[in-house]
A and B are shown apart, each in its own frame.
Chain A
Amino acid sequence: MSDYLFYIFAALTVICGALVIINKNPINSAMFLVLSIASMAGLFVLLHAFFLAAVQVLVYAGAVMVLFLFVIMLLDLKEEQRRKINTFGAVTGVASVAAIGYVFYQSIRNTPLPNAVAHSEGDTVVLGKLLFTDYVLPFEILSILLLVAMVGVILLSKKDLK
């Protein structure tokens, strides 16, 4: 059962991801992005990572997407809609992805896959403990990273007076 669910969610993620790119209307793209993220949350659920799934939905599908939509609506959309799909880009993109896919398919087909790594319990308590003990450093570094991102965004979006 969970195998089928995995394939369904995985396919949804990929297809929605592709639709984000193909769609000409940015709002539609954003909606497909929400779908893609939501199906990814489904994948997390299948892995028993309930907390991650919840966060995925709350933060990405919720908060981030709302911001996205705000920004998109502020932009002039007509120009985007007139945009033609670049044949060159499309062809090369598809070709290169196909090439990598082919290589992977060929190589994995002939390799026995290793046993799956045991599930770790993805509940909030365990995660929290890990984050504040063994992985306290990466956690803290992420906060620096966010600071950098913030400084960067403010800096780049601000108009220079001169």
Chain B
Amino acid sequence: MSGISYSEILKLVAPEMLVSLAALAVLAIDLLVMREAPQRYRFWTGAAFAGLGCGLAIAWLLAMNPPPHSMSAGLSLLQGTYADDVLVRLVKVALLVMTLFTLAISMESNFTDHIGEYLALILLATVGMMFLVSSENLLMVFISLELTSLSLYILTAFNKRNVESAEAALKYFLFGGMSAAFTLFGLSLVYGLAGSIQFSEIYSKLHAAKIDTLLLAAIVMTVIGFGFKIAAVPFHLWAPDAYQGAPTPSAAFIASGSKVASFFIFAKLMMQAFAGAEGNGAWRHFTPGWLPVVATVAACSMLLGNLAAIVQGNVKRLLAYSAIAHAGYALLGLLSNSQQGMSSLIYYIVTYGLTVLGAFGVVAIVEERTGDASISSFAGLGRRQPLLGLCMMVFMLSLAGIPPLAGFFGKFYLFTAAIGAGKDMGMLWLVIFAIAMSAVSLYYYLQVLKQIYVVPAVEDSRPIVVPVSSRIILSLLALVVVVLGCAPELLLGRLITAIKLASHQ
């Protein structure tokens, strides 16, 4: 043990500890004290504790300076099982914020009586994600990935009044298990080749070596696991079913927090551990490495995600396909394989997460009030509940990449990163493709907006009553999307400084 005491470890993992404690507290309180209390009251108490835990963790992350012996650079302790630097902390804060919003949009859904368990699982999934982003060790990556996934499987199955929910969870679970098997196989191959499971040691062992087939196989296998988590084609098959079947807040959480964490660690693994095994992803100049693999996956995701989204009749399913497409865009940041690429990736995926949380928040309310989430149940929303319609417009347009919303700037910055990467604009082909596809994507987002603003409500055109709290949450998310689009510096500036600091290790 590298001269570090348990109390120091405890201090290091304090944010994670706080969230876990909150989870246990919620579980215990709900079970022991609140069992007989009315549903609403139970939810509020539980959510208050959960929010308190997340809030404290955020405060800790922001207020505490990185531990003294690490200086400005981060540190990587205990065989790389816990890395801590400014960037990791930022991502954790983003994750916690998304968790808070997920809690907030769960408020209006009424799909379960097991409120304590529900909230606790969300928190524990967050713990998994937090450990995931601070791992620089293959074992740790795998374990925290599993913790996250397991919690999410259960969250997907949470609506026991609906068969679809159980079915979606089963698909999600079996599919996840299968990709986990592949990943584990890949990771064990990496261990066999490098003799270590720490990112830094893998890098020092592998970066000079010739890229042989076994390493390539290992990389492909590893990509599969992450491809599953980020729902990239051809590992996306679970996503549409899971998004549609899962309770809406769970789906929102799968689409936001879990994606941010997975993307971050995916990029870190590829850029740090497998640096030197990039190969070349330029059009018609493919040389083996992880770049061409990821490039192929990205292109397929954008193509299939965007085209299949056009014909969807259910908004949750539509958002699932759009998530697949967005995974494709975000991979462009990874493909840039540079600091700029990393910052663009994180910016994009964080703003995407917030946007999609908002979109699911609106869907949750509409679904609750009209009974389903088909596109036609959004008809006339602009008049039935103008604020909700407006928020949805902001989210949809941001997803489509219309300035001045966050989605536009994220895309633009991703594209500049990708186009400037490597020499001779090697990624130009993919950027062209991405822009064309994002032009296509506008079509299906407009379909939703058309329902909201143009098509009159058929059966029930009475105004939808939405509690003030939900209104505030959704307006807040919409505001964040607008502000981050107009002043990306707010987030991006921090990210860039953090990445610079982190890379001086």
Partners in one complex: yes
A interface list, Cβ under 8 A from B? 104, 107-108, 110-114, 116-118, 133-138, 141-142, 144-145, 147-149, 151-152, 155-156, 160-162
6 residue pairs of the A-B complex, CB under 8 angstroms, read: A136-B78, A137-B13, A138-B81, A149-B150, A151-B117, A151-B121
Is B1 a contact of A117 with CB atoms below 8 Å?
A: no
With both beta carbons as reference points, the residue of chain A lying nearest to B13 in the complex is identified as A137
Are A162 and B146 in contact, CB atoms less than 8 angstroms apart? no
Task: Decide: B13 and A145 in contact? CB cutoff 8 A.
Answer: no
Kindly list chain A residues whose C-beta atoms are within 8 Å of the C-beta of B131.
137, 141
- On chain B, the residues within 8 Å of A147 by CB distance are 124
* Contact between chains at B192 and A114 (CB < 8 Å): yes
Q: Contacting B9 at CB < 8 Å: which of A107, A136, A156, A162?
A: A136
**B214–A155 touching, CB < 8 Å:** no
Q: Does B127 contact A (CB under 8 A)?
A: yes
Output the least CB separation between B207 and chain A (Å). 15
Q: Note all chain A residues with C-beta closer than 8 A to B82.
A: 137
Which stretch (B51-59, B137-145, B444-452) binds chain A?
A: B137-145
Name the residue in A116, A117, A137, A147 with the highest tally of chain B Cβ atoms < 10 Å from its Cβ: A137
Q: Are B154 and A152 in contact (CB under 8 A)?
A: yes
B487 within 8 A of A: no
Closest to A109 in B: B213
A2 to B193, CA, bound (A): 22
Contact residues in A for B216 (Cβ distance below 8 Å): 107
Chain B interface residue bracket vs A: 35 or more
The 6 residue pairs across chains A and B that have the minimum distance between CB atoms: A133-B1, A107-B213, A152-B154, A134-B79, A137-B81, A145-B147
With A117-B191, A134-B81: A148-B140 Cβ-Cβ less than 8 Å: no
Closest to B150 in A: A148
Chain A residue numbers with a CB within 8 Å of B212 are: 111-112
B204 is an interface residue with CB less than 8 A from chain A: no
Contact call A135/B81, Cβ cutoff below 8 A: yes
The interface residues of chain A lying within 8 Å CB-to-CB of B157 are 152, 156
Max chain B Cβ within 10 angstroms of own Cβ: one of A113, A135, A138, A152 = A138
Report whether B154 and A135 are in contact in the complex, using a CB–CB cutoff of 8 Å: no
Taken residue by residue from 111 to 130, chain B's Cβ proximity to chain A (1 for < 8 Å, 0 otherwise) reads as 00110010011001001100
Whole-angstrom distance between the Cβ of A44 and the nearest chain B Cβ: 14
Residues of A within 8 A of B151 (CB): 148, 152
Q: Which residue of B lies closest to A107 (CB)?
A: B213
Cβ of A162 and Cβ of B143 under 8 Å apart? no
| B234: Cβ under 8 A from any A Cβ | no
Give the residues in chain B near A118, CB-CB below 8 Å. 195
**What does DSSP make chain B's interface, helix, strand, loop or mixed?**
helix
- Taken together as a complex, chains A and B put the C-alpha atoms of A68 and B151 apart, in Å, by 23
Interchain CA distance A162-B192 in the complex, whole Å: 53
Given contacts A142-B143, A156-B154, contact A134 B1 (CB under 8 A): yes
Q: A162 touching B161 by the CB < 8 A rule?
A: yes
CB-CB nearest in chain A for B192? A117
Do A148 and B121 have beta carbons less than 8 Å apart?
yes
Please state if B120 and A138 are interface contacts (CB–CB under 8 Å): no
Give B227 Cβ to nearest chain A Cβ, in Å: 16
The answer on a CB contact under 8 Å between B161 and A107 is no
Q: Which residue of B lies closest to A114 (CB)?
A: B193
Among residues of B, the one whose C-beta sits closest to the C-beta of A160 is B160
Bound CA span A107–B1, Å: 39
Q: Is B301 an interface residue (CB 8 A)?
A: no
Query: Is the CB–CB distance between A144 and B127 below 8 Å?
Result: yes
* Interface: B256 (CB within 8 A): no
- Chain A residue, CB-CB nearest to B4: A133
Say whether A108 contacts B143, CB under 8 Å.
no
**Are B153 and A152 in contact, CB atoms less than 8 angstroms apart?**
yes
With A148-B150, A155-B154 in contact, do A111 and B124 touch (Cβ < 8 Å)?
no
In the complex, which residues of chain B have a beta carbon less than 8 angstroms from the beta carbon of A114? 192-193, 214
The reply on B179 being an interface residue by CB < 8 A is: no
Is B99's beta carbon under 8 Å from chain A? Answer: no
- Of the candidates B114, B147, B158, which one forms a contact with A148 in the assembled complex, judged by CB atoms under 8 Å apart? B147
A25, chain B: closest CB distance, angstroms: 22
- How long is the Cα–Cα vector from A36 to B234 in the complex, in angstroms? 31
Q: Nearest-CB distance from B300 to chain A (Å)?
A: 18
Known: A108-B214, A134-B78, A155-B158. 12 other contacts (CB 8 A): A107-B216, A112-B212, A134-B81, A137-B81, A141-B127, A141-B144, A141-B147, A144-B128, A145-B147, A152-B121, A156-B160, A160-B160
